[in-house]
Amino acid sequence: MRPAMVGLVCADRWPVDAARNGDISGGESDSGRMTNAPHWGTISSSAPEPSRQSQHVVQFYEADEFLADSVGDFLSAGLDAGAPCIVIATPAHRADLERRLVADGLDLATAQAHGDYRALDAAETLATFMSGDTLDAARFAEVIGGMIGRAAQGHEQGQQSRRGQQGQARQPHVFGEMVALLWEDGRPSSAIELEALWNELSASLPYPFLLCCAYPMRLLAGEANAEQFATICRSHSHVIPDESYSALTTTDARTRAVTRLQQKAASLEAEIAERKQAEERLRISENRYRRLFEASTDGLLMVDPDAQTVIEANAVLATWLGSTPARLQGVELWQTSLFPSRAAMLELLRELEEQRIARRDVVLASAEDGQVRSIEFVSTRFRANGHDIIQCNLRDVTERNQLEARKNAFISMASHELKTPVTSLKGFTQLLQRRLQRQQVDPQTMLFLDRMDAQLNKLTGLISDLLDVSKMQEGTLPYRETRFDLDELARETIENVQAAITTHQVRIEGATGAQVSGDRDRLGQVLINLLTNAVKYSPGADTVVVRLSADQQWAEVAVQDFGIGIAERHHQRIFEQFYQVVEPQEGGYPGLGIGLYIAHTLVERHGGRLWLESRKGAGSTFHFSLPTLPHLSPAVEESSVIAEHAEVAQ
Ligand code: ADP
């Protein structure tokens, strides 16, 4: 083992000079280590040099191994020159360094015993002059300055006085990691402040010393650290890049590396600029979304379907629920009073999982303003950023429902009020027809009376449809249930309709052979409606086909026309009240848009189904199906008719 003083140094050169000469890093070291640390070995404190000054070097590194090699060289150079060394590092780095120095052949135990090598714990040393986030400059000068001063003068315990040939103090070599510790701890400004304290100390101490700080490069990565990184570099007299640069041995290799780094920096800058723009766009869109969300007059709710909790609710909804957006966050969905029970919420979530959309109507009584609100509640489940999310839009439809109720009440009242005078008009018209027929008045008067009668029939039909609609809404439409033969009803209805039209031939195909149960007149009304529509909406055709068919359970009636057809986008709404297809190029057709609504309600009331197949310009086929009854023996059939009559009589 070589003593610390042996193997002295070459030239008195600093990394910065070396860098100027294109020779900052060392190439392969004599110990054959894997990394090529800078030539600390070429930095000597031994040469008699009256102008020697303190130096403050920073070493960046990626791997701990590289740090141990680099700082090891720095300390070796010092020990070899007979200078005292002070290491203020983490326990792991102290251990690495000491292993490395011993492997280098240094007699560390002797150096330690002579007070030439002193190792301190970085965190503990930091704690001696720092409380909370505050660095105590005076205390720093006292603790650290005192230690360096004593080392420089050879006054450390056990230190033999080994002043230079001209009686100069030896230049202590100090390696410190307290700054990196602060940075790692998320306090980069304190690290910068501590670097400044070191600089003040080196300016004020009468003994020059060599100080080496080290930062792992990973701590400094990122655009956010750019400015502080520049400050750190400015705080040091020499900056040594990490191993990715220092490992390069030739000037050409370094020039190439610098060029690569410049290109990388330029791309990163471009990337950062792009990212900033994207972030700005995102921020604008986020703000826009936020404004929409917060200022919406509809209630909005975002729900986590897995946790079944509220992610976010807007102010309007929070008011309806007697809460605040903040209080609603994280609340279990079923506890928001939008559901009568947990089971009801689970039912909605199941529906959303299967169909992605679900609709509910709820009534909310707000504790806040005492209002009772009818709420239409539409939920959709979708995937965003790899997660499923539920969005609920809630609309206060109280006013709309009230208007709807008023409109229904008006229709009901108007149709009742109209019915009596129209019935009386119809009665008097018929009376007049009979009288004038007996008096054999001129044919033109009779024709006028016939037209009046036909118009009154139309009016009566409209009024009775309106009355049906209001009774359906009130749930008071009477049904007279009987058992009857569906084919017979179809034939009879077709004959009656055919008798009133001259433009079209209604052709009947097939038979159901089915007995059904229901209100015969009402089901006849369904078929009349489909037939009159078929004629009305096929002005260019002359045929309507009625197809009858059945299987074991269902009898089906299909009415096909060859008219204007209905575009697919209307199919879903065609059975709604007052819905009429308006196609500008087709002109208008008279009507109220309630015939299909009535037909649909009647068929559904009989346990059946009404649907359509149609394309614009290609005619329409309206189908309705009804559940069939099993055929009865003639004797039973007779008794059932009696029972039906009795039921009708009730
Ligand atoms: P309307 O009194 O207007 O005929 P309906 O409820 O019977 O009312 O029909 C609703 C709407 O459906 C009609 O306005 C018409 O646009 C369309 N429609 C109904 N039947 C047919 C059909 N066979 N062919 C084309 N359009 C039809």
pLDDT single digits (tens) 565-574: 999 999 999 9
- Check if 487 has its Cβ closer than 6 Å to any atom of ligand 1: no
- Check if 595 has its Cβ closer than 6 Å to any atom of ligand 1: yes
Query: Higher confidence at residue 14 or residue 173?
Result: 173
In the reported structure, the alpha carbon of residue 533 is separated from the centroid of ligand 1 by a whole-number distance in angstroms of 6
Task: Average the pLDDT over 605-620 and give the result.
Answer: 96
CATH of 296-396, one of 2.40.50.100, 3.40.50.300, 1.10.10.10, 3.30.450.20: 3.30.450.20
Q: What are the Cα distances from residue 90, in Å, to 63, 180, 462?
A: 15, 10, 95
CATH of 482-649, one of 1.20.1290.10, 1.10.10.60, 3.30.565.10, 3.40.50.720: 3.30.565.10
- Render pLDDT for 253-286 as a digit per residue (tens, 0 to 9): 889 888 988 998 899 889 989 999 999 999 999 9
Q: 594: Cβ–Cβ under 8 A, 6 or more apart, which residues?
A: 465, 466, 469, 577, 578
pLDDT at residue 400 in the model = 92
Tell whether the model's pLDDT for residue 646 goes beyond 60: no
Q: Which pLDDT band holds residue 632 (cuts at 50, 70, 90)?
A: low
Atom of ligand 1 nearest to the CA of 564: 25
In the reported structure, the alpha carbon of residue 504 is separated from the centroid of ligand 1 by a whole-number distance in angstroms of 17
In the reported structure, the alpha carbon of residue 353 is separated from the centroid of ligand 1 by a whole-number distance in angstroms of 36
73: left (phi over 0), alpha (psi -120 to 50) or beta: alpha
Tell whether the model's pLDDT for residue 411 goes beyond 50: yes
Q: Which pLDDT band holds residue 440 (cuts at 50, 70, 90)?
A: confident
Coil vs helix vs strand at 313: strand
- Check if 621 has its Cβ closer than 6 Å to any atom of ligand 1: no
In the reported structure, the alpha carbon of residue 592 is separated from the centroid of ligand 1 by a whole-number distance in angstroms of 9
CB 601 within 8 A of CB 472: yes
**Dist. CA 590–CA 403, nearest whole Å:** 25
Atom of ligand 1 nearest to the CA of 622: 23
Atom of ligand 1 nearest to the CA of 565: 25
In the reported structure, the alpha carbon of residue 123 is separated from the centroid of ligand 1 by a whole-number distance in angstroms of 86
| H helix runs in 322-397, sequence order | 325-328, 342-355
Tell whether the model's pLDDT for residue 390 goes beyond 90: yes
Strand 620-629 and strand 238-240: the pairing is unpaired
CATH class for the domain made up of 7-249: alpha beta
With the most atoms of ligand 1 within 8 angstroms of its CB, the residue from 580, 601, 602, 620 to mutate is: 580
Query: Higher confidence at residue 385 or residue 649?
Result: 385
CB 85 within 8 A of CB 210: no
CATH of domain 403-474: 1.10.287.130
Atom of ligand 1 nearest to the CA of 593: 8
- Check if 533 has its Cβ closer than 6 Å to any atom of ligand 1: yes
What does pTM read for this prediction? 0.53
Percentage of residues in the chain having pLDDT higher than 70: 86
Q: 336: Cβ–Cβ under 8 A, 6 or more apart, which residues?
A: 301, 310, 313, 321, 323, 328
- Check if 559 has its Cβ closer than 6 Å to any atom of ligand 1: no
Atom of ligand 1 nearest to the CA of 563: 24
Helix pair angle (520-536, 595-605), 10° resolution: 150
Tell whether the model's pLDDT for residue 642 goes beyond 90: no
Task: Average the pLDDT over 602-606 and give the result.
Answer: 95
In the reported structure, the alpha carbon of residue 299 is separated from the centroid of ligand 1 by a whole-number distance in angstroms of 36
Q: 379: Cβ–Cβ under 8 A, 6 or more apart, which residues?
A: 303, 348, 352, 357, 358, 359, 360, 390, 391, 392, 393
Query: Higher confidence at residue 23 or residue 439?
Result: 439
- Check if 561 has its Cβ closer than 6 Å to any atom of ligand 1: yes
pLDDT at residue 158 in the model = 53
Distance from the Cα of residue 481 to its chain's centroid: 54
Pick from 19-33, 290-304, 464-478: least confident: 19-33
CB 527 within 8 A of CB 553: no
* Among candidate residues 360, 391, 392, 369, the one with its CA nearest the CA of residue 322: 369
Atom of ligand 1 nearest to the CA of 580: 14
- Render pLDDT for 105-129 as a digit per residue (tens, 0 to 9): 999 999 999 889 999 999 999 999 9
Pick from 69-78, 467-476, 551-560, 603-612: least confident: 467-476
- Check if 594 has its Cβ closer than 6 Å to any atom of ligand 1: yes
In the reported structure, the alpha carbon of residue 561 is separated from the centroid of ligand 1 by a whole-number distance in angstroms of 12
With the most atoms of ligand 1 within 8 angstroms of its CB, the residue from 465, 525, 531, 537 to mutate is: 537
Tell whether the model's pLDDT for residue 303 goes beyond 90: yes
pLDDT at residue 48 in the model = 39
In the reported structure, the alpha carbon of residue 425 is separated from the centroid of ligand 1 by a whole-number distance in angstroms of 29
First-to-final CA distance of the chain: 123
Locate the domains of the chain by residue range: 7-249, 251-293, 296-396, 403-474, 482-649
pLDDT at residue 36 in the model = 42
Atom of ligand 1 nearest to the CA of 559: 23
Q: Which pLDDT band holds residue 1 (cuts at 50, 70, 90)?
A: very low
Strand partners, 382: 389
- Check if 617 has its Cβ closer than 6 Å to any atom of ligand 1: no
Strand partners, 383: 388
pLDDT at residue 155 in the model = 62
Q: 407: Cβ–Cβ under 8 A, 6 or more apart, which residues?
A: none
In the reported structure, the alpha carbon of residue 579 is separated from the centroid of ligand 1 by a whole-number distance in angstroms of 8
With the most atoms of ligand 1 within 8 angstroms of its CB, the residue from 596, 611, 623, 624 to mutate is: 596
In the reported structure, the alpha carbon of residue 618 is separated from the centroid of ligand 1 by a whole-number distance in angstroms of 15
pLDDT at residue 591 in the model = 85
